[in-house]
Amino acid sequence: MKLFVLLLAAVAAVSADTGRRNYTGIDALRAERPSIIARGIIGTRIVGGNPGDIFDIPYILALIEEDFGFLWQICGAVIISPTRALTAAHCTEWFPDYPLFVRGGSTNSEQGGQLVTVASLVDHPAYDPYTLDNDISVLRLAEPLNVALPGMSAIGMPTQGAGTAVGTMARVSGWGALYEGHPGTEFLRYVYVPVISNAECNVLNGGGITPGMICAGFPEGGRDACQGDSGGPLTAGNQVIGIVSWGWGCARPNLPGVYARLFILFVAVATISADTDIRSYTGLDALIAERTSVSTRANISNRIVGGNPGIIEDIPYILAMIASYPDGTFSHFCGAAIISATRALTAAHCTGVYALDRMYVRAGSINTQQGGQLVRIANFFNHPAFDRYTLNNDISVLHLEESLNLALPGISTIGMPIQGAGTAAGTMARVAGWGALYEGHIGHENLRYVMVPIITNAQCSTSYYGQITAGMICAGYSEGGRNSCERDSGGPLTSGNLVIGIVSWAEGCARPNLPGVYARVAHYRNWIDTNM
């Protein structure tokens, strides 16, 4: 029974008296929901706003739920690619028991435009249904939205760590209530609201505001989002900066609306979105997605940012991980490092995407498509504590089907540091691979490398809002411009004759003050030895 199971802590205060709820009506969402009346109250619209034109707000979607054969608009969502959308995590709690759909390209939530099934979704791994922190979810659609139509297009997202100035006028859109308790109509509306500081918002809301939230609203009230707007976009310029989450009542004086802030490091977005810049270096998006098209494979076969052409005799320990296709072609998807004739290290997020009988490594060649020695991967062992959302413990040991020919000049092993060994900040380390020259670049198949300085985990954690663990090591220039990028994942970060890191993730590619993050090999040496 679902009745109020999650109504604990602050959210336990939800009642007809307090009026505190998320914008879908946390009361309705948390209660048992077979009744048409509850859905009718949810499916309403913006307070104090104006009629919206889908051609001006083409990135908005109506999130629709099927219940007993009826379709009900329960929330909003925002298009970030033809097959991906963002919404509030609290909007998805009943999926898949209740199927979800999105309607794009129409001001009317009940008809017109394009109706597409939600195939799957990923809520933020740290989503808290009680405090509504990290209230964000990524929807994967069963078929692409037709973004060629004038009423449907994706919207951009801010970079990691980007702020929005207090006083910025932001637009919130949706099909929510005209006022508290109002059963509105099915037509889109929007309103402009000023962004306020988290400090002020925290005082006004009596606490509960976290760095993962952003607030907006007028001190006098009268204009804001309301029930049914949850999951919809808060936008500034051409970027979505927030997702409608919760508030006390609707547009009340000195009680601003609260939104999930988009700059939070959401690796789950990386696992779903093919277009977002918030992603691991391989683009977990591409690895997770179905990869049947040649164009998709081409789009992610890229290389090192700000580096130099590599010579395999100078980097003989590197491997290209490639996948075979029925037409006899191969697609490079990650790197790896040779640690014995039959063993290699890579990133855990690189494994398990393709069937094992399609996975190979190519050694002894600067070219991913030809030359050297091609060997099938027999098995792999991911770290048992690997977390695909935070990318902690992002390391795997590959077992090869046959031995690499270490007698060749372009193939040899590299050493590993002892368990717990450190690498001094400022040490220049080499990262190599076949990744992108810059974000979004279509690279080619030849090896490159770049030298980058090691930075402390403390400094790196500041850049990434506390996401850096003891199992990670960071490197990069404060000014950016040189680092690893898409398709470098799994490749080696080396210092001297030791592999000290495995390319794992970052925000963007070689951006200022956003270093590359690597799995720290010394942290896992004992585990590696047991899986040799």
Q: Which residues are identified as catalytic?
A: 90, 135, 230
Which residues, at least 6 apart from 184, have a Cβ–Cβ distance to it below 8 Å?
Answer: 43, 44, 45, 175, 176, 177, 178, 228
Say whether the peptide bond before residue 253 is cis (omega within 30 degrees of 0): no
The secondary element (H helix, E strand) that includes residue 153 is: none
Q: Give the closest residue to 194 by CA, choosing from 230, 237, 224.
A: 224
Q: Give the closest residue to 449 by CA, choosing from 527, 529, 511, 366.
A: 366
Q: Give the closest residue to 230 by CA, choosing from 17, 37, 8, 65.
A: 65
In the block, which residue shows the tokens 């027999």? 378
Q: Give the closest residue to 106 by CA, choosing from 114, 96, 94.
A: 114
Report, in this order, helix, strand and coil percent for the chain, each rounded to 5.
15, 35, 55
- Report the distance separating Cα 518 and Cα 469, nearest Å: 11
Which residues, at least 6 apart from 496, have a Cβ–Cβ distance to it below 8 Å?
Answer: none
One-letter identity of residue 410: G
Give the three-state DSSP class for 504: strand
The helices-and-strands tally (H runs, E runs) of the chain is 8, 28
